[in-house]
Amino acid sequence: MQKAFSYRFYPTTEQESLLRRTLGCVRLVYNRALAVRTEAWYERKERLDYVQTSALLTKWKKQDDLQFLNEVSSVPLQQALRHLQSAFSNFFAGRAKYPNFKKKRNGGSAEFTKSAFRWKDAKVFLAKCNEPLNIRWSRRLPDGVEPSTVTIRLNPAGQWYISLRFDDPRELKLQPVDPSVGLDVGMSSLITLSTGEKIANPKHFNRYYKRLRKAQRSLSRKQKGSRNWDKARLKVAKIHQKISDSRKDHLHKLTTRLIRENQAIIIESLAVKNMVKNRQLARSISDAGWGELVRQLEYKAQWYGRTLVKIDRWFPSSKRCGQCGHIVERLPLSVREWDCPKCGAHHDRDINAARNILAVGHTVTVCGAGVRPDRHTSGGQLRRSRKSQK
């Protein structure tokens, strides 16, 4: 199984100078190739591919004003062209938007394949570097494993990270367990379990909100492009990085616990990109990190032999009575508890939703079909997807 471990590293002055030049050259090659491909299409209706842009890179290296491209490793430059080709492939397939130009203030990354780095005694030697990188090993690679690809990344906060990609031969599947759990995500409680447990939302953004507001006000008073503006921008970026790191750390601990304790996890398939269009809830939804939560559950379930089931997001998990199946017509977000008008059962909104999600998840697992409310029938009766009916 292909995996990638990310580590923080601290380059020497010489290494940082070389790496910054490498990132600059990668950004230049990517942007030039993107501009050439865009111009070729709009002016001549011609589609350029990786082979043609690679030939252009060879010509660029011979130009007097671009001789600095020869001072860095050629592998990251070629990889930048491959990444651009992948971006265009995703665009033409409808999976992504049109590629954007890379910006210096976003940091950047450079990918080194095996011909551009050396792995010796658990140390990484990059091309044109005599000393190994000073990596902070938070965890070691499996014994006998060598990375196939190394990616160097500089984030907007000025921190350096290295990602080592390798093929993991270990069998990490956990022993099967009996419990299954349904999850209902929210904002007051990050997730509610079908067992009745509620995991509080840490609200990491609110913890740093005052510091961030002060730093952004200071940045707005600086002249853009000046030395003081760059210092203030770096301060804002570091606060944003702290918020992101805190959120990911909490989600990693939470998802690992859920994977270890449950054999099957059932969750709604949420369209987070559409939900953040609500201007009143956008910040709270983004801070909760629902998308990252599901992403971590997906790959950890694959690693450790667990089952992750996604039910249709239109299933009325909150409006449906878990006792009799009655669906209420309207249930505003402000209503956290309600009584079923048909059977009189009292429900906590989130716990009832989590239990309904668990029940439907078992149906999906057994039938192998998605379940959603039928909009064409009265009462919101459930129906199977068309695939399962064939």
Phi and psi at residue 184, in whole multiples of 5°? Answer: -120, 115
Last residue of a domain, one of 167, 195, 226: 167
Last residue of a domain, one of 167, 196, 217: 167
* Adjacent-strand bridge partners of 151: 111, 163
Kindly tell me if the per-residue pLDDT of 292 is higher than 80: yes
143 included as an active-site residue: no
pLDDT at residue 363 in the model: 76
Q: Is the four-CA dihedral 341, 342, 343, 347 of positive or negative sign?
A: negative
pLDDT at residue 366 in the model: 60
Range 282-299 average pLDDT: 92
pLDDT at residue 334 in the model: 85
Range 254-276 average pLDDT: 92
- Same domain membership, residue 127 and residue 223: no
Confidence of residue 382 (pLDDT cuts 50, 70, 90): very low
Range 276-301 average pLDDT: 91
- Reported for 55-64, long-range contacts at CB under 8 A and 24+ positions apart, including other chains, are 56/32, 57/29, 57/33, 57/81, 60/29, 60/32
- Same domain membership, residue 326 and residue 185: yes
DSSP three-state, residue 381: coil
pLDDT at residue 111 in the model: 97
* Mean pLDDT of the residues in the chain: 90
Q: Are 154 and 3 in contact (CB under 8 A)?
A: no
Residue 373 lies in a domain: no
Domain count, the chain: 2
CA distance 199 to 182: 13
Range 286-296 average pLDDT: 93
pLDDT at residue 235 in the model: 96
Q: Are 361 and 369 in contact (CB under 8 A)?
A: no
Lookup: tokens for 238: 């570091």
Residue 172 lies in a domain: no
pLDDT at residue 332 in the model: 87
Q: By C-alpha distance, which of 315, 322, 318 is closest to 364?
A: 315
- Same domain membership, residue 184 and residue 149: no
CB burial string 126-137: b at 16+ within 10 A, e below: bbebeebbebee
Range 135-163 average pLDDT: 94
Residue 51, CA distances (Å) to 56, 81, 83, 327 in order = 9, 9, 13, 58
- Same domain membership, residue 224 and residue 345: yes
Residue 312 lies in a domain: yes
- Same domain membership, residue 223 and residue 309: yes
Catalytic-role residue among 131, 184, 292, 337: 184
Residue 174 lies in a domain: no
Catalytic-role residue among 64, 268, 312, 339: 268
- Same domain membership, residue 274 and residue 228: yes
pLDDT in tens, 85-129: 999 999 999 999 999 999 998 899 999 999 999 999 889 999 999
Kindly tell me if the per-residue pLDDT of 270 is higher than 90: no
Residue 389 lies in a domain: no
Residue 372 lies in a domain: no
Lookup: tokens for 75: 């592998």
DSSP three-state, residue 208: coil
Kindly tell me if the per-residue pLDDT of 325 is higher than 90: no
- Same domain membership, residue 188 and residue 162: no
Residue 182, CA distances (Å) to 258, 265, 370 in order = 11, 6, 16
pLDDT at residue 387 in the model: 38
184 included as an active-site residue: yes
Tell me the residue type at 139. Answer: R
Other CB atoms within 10 A of residue 69 CB: 19
Catalytic-role residue among 111, 312, 337, 350: 350
pLDDT in tens, 234-262: 999 999 999 999 999 999 999 999 999 99
- Same domain membership, residue 28 and residue 155: yes
pLDDT at residue 281 in the model: 87
- Same domain membership, residue 120 and residue 240: no
Per this entry, what is the length of the chain?
390
- Same domain membership, residue 9 and residue 144: yes
Q: By C-alpha distance, which of 265, 354, 286, 365 is closest to 315?
A: 354
Query: Given the DSSP bridges, would you call strands 198-200 and 123-126 parallel, antiparallel or unpaired?
Result: unpaired
- Same domain membership, residue 195 and residue 110: no
DSSP string, 81-139: HHHHHHHHHHHHTTSS-PPPPP-GGG-EEEEEEGGGEEEETTEEEETT-SS---EE-SS
- Same domain membership, residue 144 and residue 21: yes
pLDDT in tens, 175-205: 999 999 999 998 889 999 999 999 999 999 9
Residue 387 lies in a domain: no
Residue 173 lies in a domain: no
**Which pTM value belongs to this model?**
0.85
Q: Give the percent of the chain with pLDDT over 90.
A: 72
CA distance 121 to 143: 11
292 included as an active-site residue: no
Lookup: tokens for 374: 């039928």
Kindly tell me if the per-residue pLDDT of 378 is higher than 70: no
Other CB atoms within 10 A of residue 26 CB: 26
pLDDT in tens, 26-73: 999 999 999 999 999 999 889 999 999 999 999 999 999 999 999 999
Kindly tell me if the per-residue pLDDT of 148 is higher than 80: yes
Kindly tell me if the per-residue pLDDT of 370 is higher than 60: no
Residue range(s) defining the domain that contains residue 22: 2-167
